[in-house]
Amino acid sequence: MIDILQIFLSESFWAASLRIASPLIFGVLGTLLCERAGVLNLGIEGIFVVGAMTGWMAVWLGAPLPVGVLAAALAGALFGLFHSVLTVPLGLSQHVSGLGITLFASSLASFAYRTALPQVSSPPRIEPFRSLDVPILSDLPFFGTVLFQQTALTWLALIMVGVVWWIMDRTPLGVALKAVGDNPEAVNAQGLSVIRLRMGAVVAGSSLMALGGAFLTMSAFDAFFFGMVNGRGWICIALVIFASWQPGKALVGALLFGMFDALQVRLQTEAGALVPHQVFLMMPFILSIIALVIVARRADYPRALLTPWFRGQR
């Protein structure tokens, strides 16, 4: 008999949920920035891959961990710049450009890995971020294990939720970004550059996406291997809709998926002999789809999303 209540009362379960949610938090925030400005970025899956590979490769070549994180963010920004040039001033299809970015970034990561390590059969290991042990706070019941024994990248993800919320809701820049995703013509009438705002949002959002990939190789694991992203980018696209493009709800959505994933691992351990393991593997995706269907009908999407804008066009 599986004791579900015992699983939900376990500190390790909630700590694992937050850890699994961390790369999704980066990805959802990055997607939110892009889409709030009116640009869909389906390049997220490839940007995750290139962020994971770049951060790991930098550290493997001798760079300290913070430099590896910075390298991953820069790689994401470059692919974001590429996508923004194609979709914003040139006005090309955001779907086609995004899928092209995913294919290009994934292939480039594979090429760079195979070129740098042609004879390696198993990926080399690096020294990843270790869990922070905060004095006194780490010893607190429940919260000590769940919050204060996570890695620095998990804390960075949580901090970025607050930063993005503050920018979007408390600064003129955030007001302009939301406006450019709803009514770019009104933004242009105020003398602001629609092109710069949209391109800047895509570049910044893509940097955050790449940090999600860097988390996988520099915090969750200690090596880069193909298939490790495993559709997390596409999950982030769905979670943004679930969150109605709001940072706080984005955090809740990522934590919800992390909880589902952590739950399936424990259920697979408890009942793996009775139920095929594929049922447990697909469970977090099915539950996420159900949650998305329930919420999506009420989602207040950016009204100029996917709509290219050209100066003087009516």
For residue 231, count CB atoms less than 10 angstroms from its CB and return exposed for 0-12, middle for 13-18, buried for 19 or more: exposed
Q: What pLDDT does residue 277 have? A: 64
* 18: in domain: yes
CA–CA separation, 59 and 66 (whole Å): 9
In this prediction, residue 2 carries a pLDDT of 58
DSSP calls for 107-175? HHHHHHHHHH-TT-SSPPP---PPPP--TTGGGSTTHHHHTTTS-HHHHHHHHHHHHHHHHHHHSHHHH
Residue 86 lies in a domain: yes
**Nearest-5° angle of CA 109, CA 30, CA 295?**
120
Residues 6 or more apart from 287 whose CB is under 8 A from it?
Answer: 260
Inside any domain, residue 306: no
Cα distance between residue 78 and residue 58, in whole Å: 16
Residue 45 domain boundaries: 12-116+133-138+146-296
Q: How far apart are CA 121 and CA 108, in angstroms?
A: 19
Give the CATH number, domain containing residue 151. 1.10.3470.10
Specify the higher pLDDT residue, 89 or 267: 89
For residue 116, give both structure tokens: 């740098």
Looking at residue 1, its pLDDT comes to 47
User: Which residues are CB-contacts of 123 (< 8 A; sequence separation ≥ 6)?
Assistant: 117, 223, 224, 225
> Tens digits of per-residue pLDDT, 273-294?
566 667 767 877 787 778 777 7
Structural domains counted in the chain: 1
- As a whole number, the mean pLDDT across the chain is 90
- The residue that leads in pLDDT, 231 or 65, is 65
Q: What is the per-residue pLDDT across 144-198, written as a single tens digit (0 to 9) for each?
A: 889 988 999 999 999 999 999 999 999 999 999 999 999 999 999 999 999 999 9
Alpha carbon separation from 31 to 39, 103, 203, 264 (Å, rounded): 9, 18, 11, 26
Asked if residue 228 belongs to a domain, the reply is yes
What is the token pair recorded at 268? 């697979």
In this prediction the pTM is 0.94
- Domain assignment present for residue 122? The answer is no
| Of residues 140 and 2, more confidently modeled | 140
Q: CB of 292 within 8 A of CB of 241?
A: yes
Q: Phi-psi region for residue 267, left (φ > 0), alpha (ψ -120 to 50) or beta? A: alpha
- From 47, 165, 208, select the one nearest 173 (Cα to Cα): 165
Percent of the chain's residues with pLDDT above 70: 95
Rounded Cα gap, residues 220 and 186, in angstroms: 44
Q: What are phi and psi of 256, to 5 degrees?
A: -65, -45
What 273-277 contacts at long range (C-beta under 8 Å, 24+ apart), as own/partner pairs, is none
Is the pLDDT reported for residue 115 higher than 50?
A: yes
> pLDDT for 17-56, tens place per residue?
999 999 999 999 999 999 999 999 999 999 999 999 999 9
What pLDDT sits at residue 282?
A: 80
